[in-house]
Every structure is written in C-alpha cells, then in structure tokens.
Amino acid sequence: MVIGYSNRLEMYGDDFPADPESKIELLGTYNFPPQALCRDDDSLVGLVMTFDGNLAFATDQGVVGVLPRDIRTATDASLHTTSLNGDKCDDPNLPADALTHITNNIAADPEGGIYAVTAREMLRFSTDGANGVRIDWRSEYENGEGLSAIRIGDAGSGSTPTVMGTGDDDRFVVITDGQAVMHLVLYWRDTIPADWQPIAPGKDPRIACEFPVTFGRPEATNTESEQSVLVSGYSSVLTQNRLEDTAELATLAEAARRGSAAFLGGDPALAPRGAQRIDWDPATRTCSSVWSNATISMPNTVPTMSRATQLIYGVGIDDAGTWGLHALDFATGEPRFFVRGPGGEGCAEQQLAQFQEGAAAVFRPYYTRYPTSCDNSFYGSTTIGPDRTIYISNFGSLTRYVPD
C-alpha cells in the first residue's frame, strides 16, 4: 500500500510477505526531488497505480510524473516528469494563482494513458520510455464564472477523471464540466473514429458527448458534483453536491467553506438532492438520460455499485436529517433501502475528544446543530468488501455496514 503526503510517499506491506498474518510495517519512504515539484510549496494531489507496474502522480502546480511502484527502487533516472507550467515555475514574479493547477485526483487506463483535469482542460499523458512523460492530447471543456462554494482550488471540473470502455468497446474518459448547469462530458480517449463529426460547430472532435445534468429538475440553474463519475459499462451515475442555499458559506474563508458545506449537507432544508444516470449508445453514438431521482440526498459521498446486486450505494441523509446508507436500483433509480448509521446522537462528544482543542471548538457548533454528523461521509468513498460488507470513511471515524 502506497500513501501520499504533501511531498513524499510511504509504502507499507507485510514484514514477512509469505505470511498474511505477519505484521504490517513501513517498507520505504520516497521524498520528492526538486524535478517532481514545480515550486518549493508544491504538493501532491493525485496518485494512482498504473497497469504496467508503476505509480503515476500529479501535483497541485501541474507536474505529472511516473516512478516505480516499489518506491525503494526509485532513482532520479527512473523518475519521469512533465510540467504544465514549464519555465513559469522558476519565475518568482509570477504569483501562484497564475499557474495551471491540478486539484483533482488522476486516473489510468490499461493502454498506458494517464488522465488529469485542470480548471480549463482535460489531458491525456503517457510514458515515452527514456523520453519521459508526454502529453498525447489536451481538450478544453466548458466552464462557468467564479469559484464554487464547495470547490477546492480553481473553478472548473470537480471530478476525478473516470475511464469507460474496455476491449473493442468505444473507449472514453469521463468528467463533469464547470458550467452553471453541469454537463457530463465524454472524451474519446484513444484515436478519434475516422467518420466522427464534432457534436456542434466549433467543438473539439475529441468530445463525444456533452449532456446537461439537472437531476430531474428541468428548472435547475445550478448543479454541481465534486465526485468522480460512477461508471458501469456505458452508464454514468452522478450525484448532486450543491447545497440548496449557499449564503452561509459566502461569509467564510475559502479554507473553511468545503468542510462547512459537508456539515450543512446534513440539514434537510439545505441538503443537496438528486442523482441521475446517463448512458452512451454505441449505435447512435449519443448520450441520453435513463433516469433521474430528484429527492435522494447523498450530499458528499463518492458512491459505488455492485454488478451482482445491481444496486448503487452511497451515504446520505433521510428526510429527518439522519445519516446512513442509501441503496438505489441501478435500472430505475428508485430507492431500495436506507440503513441508519450507528453513530446516533450520542456520538458527538466522543468524536470531538479526538480532535485538537482548536479544531473541536470549530466543529462543536455543527455537532450541536446536526447531532448525527458522526456518520457524515465528509467526501469519503463508499467501498464494497469481498465479504459483502460496505465500508465508508466518515468525519473522524469508519463505519461498517453488513448484510442482515
């Protein structure tokens, strides 16, 4: 297991690999050298294992690199990088906000592609042997004005790229864009088909689909998702993360907005509501909406699904504002069940005791307003274990859901 910190990686594993019952130990540490960072204050934002046995990473200030998966063997010669900012990194007169930033995680495909999204562009990188990392293509997407109340960093896409399609399928990389009414965007990730025509005059032919996401509310003027798109086959499932009212966040500093938005998502009057499934049709080569659920509330979780049960799972709230696990029917979007989280209203003081004194003082008012916040997913990813157990990281805790 490799864990990324601001400017280093740590690798953990069994101290005796032949014995799965052996202790886990720190096997090695890799400190990023200067060529892996744009500036001294640059930091890691994305990390993924590649299909050819390496690690790919991205930094906030636009460096994308590849190094051996076993970081104990990494050397300057085995580290390959490219910088989206180039010589700008060395210009002390250029402010940090003038640089190109990457603020979402990255993705990799089986063919060697590495995908990163900036505030304006979707990019595909690949390794080029001794020549390092190259940019295969880049394509702009539609964007709105201003910074979202829940967005970290630049305006633009809030989603980690997701790959879609395997084998002889149409193959895409999928993101959501930065328009006021967010659109799902599919990019041809390999060679663009020879007979393909742009979806509209002036559009980059790399774009295969650009579909508005309203979550079943045609009157919607603002929709937003800060999660990677859930993909199964040619289907994309998206969840709404935008609060019904963001006025309270407008008075807060940027660093406090996202955390506060996560707590406010537990308020039934403010909670984001909506999920939508959009499918690509390889016969007509178009996208269409299969279903929308305008009432489900999964305010900040990264959802997942089981192909075996055909259910979508994600943490959210019920109509009373209690946190728990939602299950939606993949075919219809209808709710199948909701399981209340185990924390309950008595968990706040116990959880607050884990935090440093200053942090506890900041969070206490939210726990007073929303006493079941211990089960707030707080942008955590929903994960299905091999034993049909579902795990979710919360704000300061881990919750385990098991079949009855």
Q: How high is the pLDDT of residue 351?
A: 77
Top-confidence residue, 368 or 304: 304
User: Is 153's pLDDT higher than 60?
Assistant: no
Buried b (16+ CB within 10 A) or exposed e, 9-24: bebeeeeeeeeeeeee
Tokens encoding 187: 């990019």
Look-up of token digits 């590649």? 50
> In what helix (H) or strand (E) does residue 351 lie, and over which residues does it extend?
helix 348-352
User: Is 352's pLDDT higher than 90?
Assistant: no
Domain of residue 269, CATH code = 2.40.10.480
Confidence of residue 348 (pLDDT cuts 50, 70, 90): confident
Is position 299 within any domain?
Answer: yes
Residue 115, class by beta-carbon neighbours within 10 Å (0-12 exposed, 13-18 middle, 19+ buried)?
A: buried
Is position 189 within any domain?
Answer: no
Q: How high is the pLDDT of residue 270?
A: 95
**Are the CB atoms for 162 and 173 separated by under 8 Å?**
yes
Tokens encoding 308: 């075996």
Helices (H) and strands (E) in the chain, counts: 4, 26
Range list of β-strands (E), 88-241: 107-108, 114-117, 121-127, 133-140, 162-164, 172-176, 183-188, 207-212, 230-232, 235-239
Confidence of residue 2 (pLDDT cuts 50, 70, 90): very high
Is position 365 within any domain?
Answer: yes
Question: Reduced to 3 DSSP states, what percent helix, strand and coil does the chain have, rounded to the nearest 5?
Answer: 15, 35, 50
Confidence of residue 198 (pLDDT cuts 50, 70, 90): very high
Is position 156 within any domain?
Answer: no
Question: In the sheet that 207-212 helps form, which strands lie side by side, from edge to edge?
Answer: 162-164, 172-176, 183-188, 207-212
Q: How high is the pLDDT of residue 360?
A: 75
Rounded mean pLDDT of 366-391?
Answer: 89
Q: How far apart are CA 360 and CA 343, in angstroms?
A: 18
Task: Choose the weakest-confidence range: 78-92, 182-196, 361-375.
Answer: 361-375
Q: For residue range 202-234, what is the model confidence (pLDDT) as tens digits? A: 999 999 999 999 999 999 999 999 889 999 999
What does DSSP assign to residue 257? H
Whole-structure pTM value: 0.94
- The β-bridge partners of 163 are 173
Top-confidence residue, 258 or 108: 108
Q: For residue range 120-143, what is the model confidence (pLDDT) as tens digits? A: 999 999 987 666 899 999 999 998
Q: How high is the pLDDT of residue 253?
A: 78
- The torsion angle over the Cα atoms of residues 243, 247, 248 and 253, rounded to 10 degrees, is 100
Q: For residue range 277-312, what is the model confidence (pLDDT) as tens digits? A: 999 999 999 999 999 999 999 999 999 999 999 999
Q: How far apart are CA 323 and CA 343, in angstroms?
A: 9
Is position 66 within any domain?
Answer: no
What does DSSP assign to residue 357? H
**Are the CB atoms for 65 and 36 separated by under 8 Å?**
yes
Domain containing 259 equals 217-404
Sign of CA dihedral 11, 12, 17, 20: negative
Q: How far apart are CA 327 and CA 239, in angstroms?
A: 13
Average pLDDT, the chain: 92
Tokens encoding 266: 């537990």
Rounded mean pLDDT of 170-188?
Answer: 96
Number of domains in the chain: 1
User: Is 183's pLDDT higher than 60?
Assistant: yes
Is position 338 within any domain?
Answer: yes
Is position 96 within any domain?
Answer: no
Q: How far apart are CA 386 and CA 75, in angstroms?
A: 36
Rounded mean pLDDT of 241-248?
Answer: 90
**Are the CB atoms for 56 and 31 separated by under 8 Å?**
no
> In what helix (H) or strand (E) does residue 369 lie, and over which residues does it extend?
helix 357-369
Question: In the sheet that 311-317 helps form, which strands lie side by side, from edge to edge?
Answer: 304-306, 311-317, 323-329, 335-340
Tokens encoding 13: 């594993």
CA distances from 365 to 74, 162, 257, 360, 369 (A): 46, 36, 15, 9, 6
User: Is 251's pLDDT higher than 90?
Assistant: no
Is position 241 within any domain?
Answer: yes
CA-nearest of 348, 328, 332, 208 to 266 is: 348
Q: How far apart are CA 272 and CA 294, in angstroms?
A: 10
- The torsion angle over the Cα atoms of residues 235, 316, 324 and 322, rounded to 10 degrees, is -160
Q: How far apart are CA 265 and CA 124, in angstroms?
A: 34
Q: Torsions phi, psi of 142, nearest 5? A: -70, 145
Q: For residue range 84-95, what is the model confidence (pLDDT) as tens digits? A: 999 999 999 999
